[in-house]
Amino acid sequence: MTVQSTATLRRIVQLSLISLSAVFIGTSPLHAAEKGSATILVKDAFTSPNHAATIEAKLISKGFLTSNPLGGEPLELVVDRKVVATAMTGGDGRAFFTYMPKAIGLVPVQVRVGNSSRVDSTEGQANLAVWEKRHPILTIELSSLMEALTPSRVPRIGIAIESERKPMPEAADELGKLTQFYYRVIYVVTSPAGRDGFQATTEAREWLRTHKFPTGYVMTLPPDSQALGSKLDDFHAEGWKTIKIGVGRTKAFAEAFLQRRLEAVIVPEPTKGEVPRKAKVAKDWKDVRKKL
């Protein structure tokens, strides 16, 4: 190959590299402008008027089969259409907001993505329960509101079987009567092992809303037999003395109340040997009101 041919070939290679660089440089702003879809999950919160509440949210990527936490993203807490707090997600996708409500009631709150260059606008919702400590509070195990599963039912891929469960007959109506003028309600949900409480909280809220149960505070606990008891102790230490009646389906739920000299009602009537001493038994939700 002649010197001239070598120089020509070298020149062609250089021009090709310059062209490729231009292509990549020209397209990089387009890719940078593209934003990914995400989901915000928010846990319910609980406090009394003029006391700060901590509201916890989690931002995850929205994928078909998998999702990953998104860290370093700005989130905003919105109450009554106003931004009342801001926070940045950590490496686990979580963000924590502090908010001090003044009015009594169940306050709808939203958490939305702030000014982000990576994530599309999206929001998640939850409830902030703001109750006086003198209000009587009824604590309900979510499973006590659901009909029992039949062995033949197998969950479809990607769908939680809990979301498909039907409510017990008249449970929503009877609980509605109890909460209309007297009780506030805490719904207790146990998050399956290996999952955080965000998805369990979201699914429980949706199930309750779909089946027209009274709105309340959804409290998610880890799958630990001592978790409910520890939470009851915390509530009482903080002055929530009116949390003293639990209505549940399982023996462990009832025992957490009975061990603290609180009242427990089991519904529906369990098999023999599953009723703790001093627990009341209701055959259905219509019978629950008679036991309180």
The tens-digit pLDDT sequence of the chain (292 residues) is 554 454 554 554 454 544 444 333 333 333 445 788 999 999 999 999 999 999 999 999 987 567 899 999 999 999 999 999 999 999 999 999 999 999 999 999 999 999 999 999 999 999 999 999 999 999 999 999 999 866 555 444 434 445 578 999 999 999 999 999 899 999 999 988 767 889 999 999 999 999 999 999 999 999 898 999 999 999 999 999 999 999 999 999 999 999 999 999 999 988 777 788 899 999 999 999 899 9
Among 93, 109, 129, where does a domain finish? 129
Residues 147 and 281 occupy one common structural domain: yes
Residues 67 and 152 occupy one common structural domain: no
Domain CATH code at residue 190: 3.40.50.1000
Residues 115 and 150 occupy one common structural domain: no
Residues 287 and 147 occupy one common structural domain: yes
Residues 124 and 203 occupy one common structural domain: no
Instruction: Provide the domain limits for residue 108.
Output: 38-129
Give the pLDDT score at 183: 96
In which region does residue 9 sit, left (phi positive, over 0), alpha (psi from -120 to 50) or beta (all else)? alpha
Give the pLDDT score at 34: 79
Give the pLDDT score at 145: 97
Domain CATH code at residue 90: 2.60.40.10
Residues 275 and 143 occupy one common structural domain: yes
Residue 11 lies in a domain: no
Residues 141 and 93 occupy one common structural domain: no
Residue 9 lies in a domain: no
Domains: count for the chain: 2
Residue 18 lies in a domain: no
Give the pLDDT score at 46: 95
Supply the DSSP string of 109-168, one letter for each residue: EEEEE-S-SSB---EEEEEEEE--TTS-EEEEEGGGGBPPPPTT--PPTTS-GGGGPPBP
Residue 149 lies in a domain: yes
Residues 125 and 141 occupy one common structural domain: no
Residues 156 and 221 occupy one common structural domain: yes
Residues 112 and 177 occupy one common structural domain: no
Residues 142 and 283 occupy one common structural domain: yes
Among 129, 145, 160, where does a domain finish? 129
Residues 256 and 280 occupy one common structural domain: yes
Residue 26 lies in a domain: no
Among 77, 96, 129, where does a domain finish? 129
Give the pLDDT score at 111: 98
